[in-house]
Amino acid sequence: MAFAFQKAWQQDIVDTQRNFSKGTVMTQIKLKGKPVNTIGSLPAIHTKAPPFRLVDRDLHEHTLEEFSGKKKLLTTVPSLDTGLCSTMTKHFNELAKKHPNVAFITVSADLPFAQKRFCEKEAVHNILILSMMRGREFGEKYGVLIVDGPLAGLLARSVLVLDEKDHVIYEELVSEITEEPNYHKAAECLKHYHA
């Protein structure tokens, strides 16, 4: 089953790359100093974040609409199986303790089963970890799907803060995948922004 899923995923990446047209917007970031591209770009400040339907570690679906009326801190990471993604997720898990009225959501390309193991092993219980297993379009809509290089098919590292009406009030696409985001700026946005 895992092999069939992996094969379908690889075909999806090939199809995405094949469907590029000359007018396709791409954003360049780096992986260990070498350029890689994401399709599209992060939602801009003051724009409404696109809807999504993603799966949690117990295979339950979640949508952006579920969190209407709450501020949201939405992060994307390539894979929770890497040290840096693990560190970033644990950092935001701790920050979530200080902001109980904010929905903290992390999205990765990992399968829900791997996400569940990670959360149990690392005691990550304050944020909702979601998989794009059934929502591959998430990466395209949010401008974080890596489309070339060795991490093609995974998500770039990013942080978005959304207000209660899902408008973007802070955004960061980390320009070097092997670096951490600006935790301080995201935390300050949560602390000081009032609708």
Active site residues: 85
Is residue 169 within 8 Å of residue 23, measured between CB atoms? no
Rounded Cα–Cα distance for residues 64 and 49 (Å)? 9
- C-alpha–C-alpha distance, residues 27 and 92, integer Å: 25
Taking the C-alpha atoms of residue 48 and residue 149, their distance in angstroms, rounded to an integer, is 30
- Residue 111 exposed, middle or buried by CB count within 10 Å (0-12, 13-18, 19+): middle
Sign of CA dihedral 45, 106, 174, 22: negative
